[in-house]
Structure 1
Amino acid sequence: MNIEDFLIPAPKLKTEKWQLGHFIKSEILENSIVLIFVSDFRGANRSGESQDFRKVRAELYRLSHLQFETDICDLGDLISGKTIEDTHFILQEFLSLCHYKNAIPVIIGGSNDLAFSLFSALNFHQKNINYTQINSKVELGNADEPLSEKNYLTKILSSKNLSVKNYHHLGYQKHLNAQESVNLIKEVEFDILRLAEMMNETDKAEPYFRRANLVTLNCDAVESFAEDFSIHPQVNGLNRREICAYMQEIGLGENLKSVGIFNFNFEAESRLNHQLLAHMIWYLISGIDLEKSHPKERFYETFHVMIEEENYTFRRDSFKNLWYFGADEKIENCLPCSAADYQLAKEGKIAKRLLHF
């Protein structure tokens, strides 16, 4: 495949030597972070025409490089296919190229149905995928209809060819969802977290990112402030500081392989919207780079909590101060949890997700 036939190269922007843009590469390197901008919004009944990404790039490239050790590549703008299916196909080819080089692709733009391609491409390289999504809506449309933002999740969860180990849905808002969809997610024992539980601090949601292989963000889950931040703007959502904090938590994930940021409103005139998206990408990069620098050998403290006649075991990573639930000597067999879960257990209460585990 000749990748130049499907990409518009990223423009060269003048930056200073300490800024991120000065260090940006244009090819997929081993163990790098690869940015790909996508214009196809046809999954949301919008256009597949080329979008203008210059404002976002200008804001991103001006941010500090901070001597990141991880190479960062801006592969350019993906040219939309004649059909949305063509776009999904060629995007999966690029994603696969990244996975072969152990690079982490970050897809920016396009409609939320592109999450299906991120999952499908990753599924080709590994099974039992942990998928975490930040989205104000739980969309479970008819899987027999053409792929769109209304049914991509149904297609992922119901496909016999796609291997889902865990699915976590974060940031949903009660007033935007049919209760039947929320109940269905709960019935199959996938985790679902309301927006109210994610506000002001990241501690409660962090465990859902810790082992995620794929994370996608629907920008509809971010509150609009200067003007429409997303193509389906909401007055309620994660604020500017919260979403940047969460982007860093995503990057800090131990098993992160792929990230998608969808439904951003690139037609926004306000510089603040493009600046916020650039900051979100920067915090994601910062988290990925920081995680790569962490020592692989870890030491864990063990804590036992007696509730009636039951003994519950918690373990704490002494380096990261992160908590796990379970008595298994292998930490990968324990469940990521929060310090609040441990404190709750000391009060005689065990969170439902821990009991299910």
Structure 2
Amino acid sequence: MLDQSQLQDYLAPISKWLLNHDNLYTDLQIGNMIDAYEEEHWPDLDNADIVLIGVNEERGAGRKTPEMHAPDLVREAFYKLYHWHQDVKLADLGNLLPGNALTDAYAALSSIVGALIDAGKTVLVLGGSHDLTYAQYKAYANKQYIIELTVADALIDLHEDTPARAEKFLMDLFTEQPNYIRHYNHIGFQSYFVQPKMLETLDKLRFDCYRLGKLRENLDEIEPVLRNSDMLSFDVCAIRHADAPANVLSPNGFTGEEACAISRYAGMSGQMSSFGIYGYKPTQDQYGLTAMQMAQMLWYFVDGRAIKNKEAMLHDKDAFLEFHIAFSDIHTKFLKSKKTGRWWMQLPDKSYIPCAYNDYLLASNNEIPERWLRSQERAI
């Protein structure tokens, strides 16, 4: 059971009345279905599957005064959507109280996320600046959980010569000792913003980076990556400006639909226990479209979680189609779920990794799938 007093010390309640401008939510709107921390009411976290936290913290991006009420603007849009999956229980813990220093905010967020993960909850973080990814990661590191993490960002925040934590937090993630990162994936980077040597560095660490253009050719390729990830951090700047006006970095990026598909894939993952969306700036958000985009991403994450709950375990042979393949003198096996259509590929040690249909096609044509090769490289 989660300790209410321990969590409550870090949090400020919200008001559904204010979020909905003194109107009632209809029966199946999320605002009516979600159990939120309000004055005089603490949510029933024991029965919750997904727990939402707002974090209005931007000192890591060099802004001493955060954008006002950024998480609440996303909530306002999210609460108006309709909840289609009543078997997925939602709770909202309100907003993180500002600490005296940035390190206080990191410590508080990691403590809350860690406690929720330990209780078997999936955590949604509505950020502030992208460096809060570090606090999201520390929730696992503080408990010595070795994880795979994925970041969606047009940039690779690996700069050393900058005072802004939001521009160099990946350096902290990769160099901190002891380190609990089993594997790192970076999705949606835009090459013209990235120093080539950064990619060389990540490749030497056997981390995987997926260029925006490559992913947009076949977005399904990213589903196995997210299926194997414990946490996802998504920067709004990965979405093109037309679909997320608060992104003033680039006119290019994922479409709104693609961002929602990525969120749905994350929700479908049986491994994923935290998902943070960062970088929202309300003062740059025309007509509130970015807040609505983020709200719909949250909706699709919940939608994915409903699908995840229906997936069978790999040892349930009746729930999968089995394909025996030989490529380059290697004999292996592919499994396809009858329920969700997702694929798994067997490695030489007889373990299985998530894969895509294209990996099966390559193996069928006597080609070694790159996903198989990369996995074997990391095993050495």
- Show the counterpart of 1:221: 238
Q: Which runs of 5+ in 1 are unaligned?
A: none
Deviation sequence 1:124-152 (CA, Å, 0-9, x none): 34522011111112222339x87712221
d(CA) in 2 for partners of 1:5, 1:186: 42
Equivalent positions of 1:246-325 (< 5 A) are 246-267=262-283, 268-296=285-313, 298-299=316-317, 300-325=320-345
Deviation at 1:34, TM superposition (A): 1.1
- Show the counterpart of 1:11: 15
Structure 1 counterpart of 2:121, from 76, 85, 103: 103
- Given that 1:304 and 1:314 are in contact with CA atoms closer than 8 Å, whether structure 2 keeps it comes out as yes
Cα 1:323–1:126 change in 2 (3 A) is farther
Amino acid of the structure 1 residue aligned with 2:35 = K
Cα 1:39–1:306 change in 2 (3 A) is same
Deviation at 1:200, TM superposition (A): 5.8
Equivalent positions of 1:1-357 (< 5 A) are 2-12=6-16, 13=20, 14-26=24-36, 27=43, 29-30=45-46, 31-49=48-66, 51-52=68-69, 53-125=71-143, 127-142=145-160, 148-199=165-216, 201-225=218-242, 228-230=245-247, 232-267=248-283, 268-296=285-313, 298-299=316-317, 300-327=320-347, 333-356=351-374, 357=376
Q: Percent identity?
A: 24
Deviation at 1:313, TM superposition (A): 3.5
d(CA) in 2 for partners of 1:200, 1:16: 40
1:88 alignment partner, SS class: helix
Cα 1:226–1:290 change in 2 (3 A) is closer
Q: Considering only aligned residues, what root-mean-square deviation do their CA atoms show, in Å?
A: 2.3
Structure with more helix by fraction: 2
d(CA) in 1 for partners of 2:106, 2:76: 27
Cα 1:303–1:159 change in 2 (3 A) is same
- Given that 2:50 and 2:122 are in contact with CA atoms closer than 8 Å, whether structure 1 keeps it comes out as yes
d(CA) in 1 for partners of 2:342, 2:84: 25
Amino acid of the structure 1 residue aligned with 2:32 = H
- Would you say how many aligned residue pairs link Structure 1 and Structure 2? 353
d(CA) in 2 for partners of 1:102, 1:226: 34
- Given that 1:33 and 1:71 are in contact with CA atoms closer than 8 Å, whether structure 2 keeps it comes out as yes
Cα 1:28–1:164 change in 2 (3 A) is farther
Deviation at 1:328, TM superposition (A): 6.1
Q: Which runs of 5+ in 2 are unaligned?
A: 37-42
d(CA) in 2 for partners of 1:324, 1:196: 25
1:204 alignment partner, SS class: helix
2:99 alignment partner, SS class: coil
d(CA) in 2 for partners of 1:6, 1:266: 24
Amino acid of the structure 2 residue aligned with 1:137 = L
Amino acid of the structure 2 residue aligned with 1:255 = Q
- Given that 2:282 and 2:288 are in contact with CA atoms closer than 8 Å, whether structure 1 keeps it comes out as no
Cα 1:345–1:18 change in 2 (3 A) is same
- Given that 2:229 and 2:272 are in contact with CA atoms closer than 8 Å, whether structure 1 keeps it comes out as yes
Amino acid of the structure 2 residue aligned with 1:355 = L
Amino acid of the structure 2 residue aligned with 1:322 = R
Cα 1:200–1:284 change in 2 (3 A) is farther
Deviation sequence 1:5-61 (CA, Å, 0-9, x none): 432212113210111110111236135211111111111112343622443222211
- Given that 2:246 and 2:286 are in contact with CA atoms closer than 8 Å, whether structure 1 keeps it comes out as no
- Given that 1:298 and 1:319 are in contact with CA atoms closer than 8 Å, whether structure 2 keeps it comes out as no
d(CA) in 2 for partners of 1:137, 1:178: 10
2:220 alignment partner, SS class: coil
d(CA) in 2 for partners of 1:289, 1:146: 42
Q: TM-score, normalised by structure 1?
A: 0.91
d(CA) in 2 for partners of 1:50, 1:67: 32
Cα 1:166–1:107 change in 2 (3 A) is same
- Given that 1:48 and 1:80 are in contact with CA atoms closer than 8 Å, whether structure 2 keeps it comes out as no
Deviation sequence 1:253-298 (CA, Å, 0-9, x none): 1111111111112222413222111111111122123312434463
1:80 alignment partner, SS class: coil
Larger displacement relative to structure 2 (120-129 or 304-313): 304-313
Deviation at 1:170, TM superposition (A): 0.8
d(CA) in 2 for partners of 1:200, 1:188: 26
- Given that 2:150 and 2:186 are in contact with CA atoms closer than 8 Å, whether structure 1 keeps it comes out as yes
d(CA) in 2 for partners of 1:226, 1:350: 37
- Given that 2:328 and 2:367 are in contact with CA atoms closer than 8 Å, whether structure 1 keeps it comes out as no
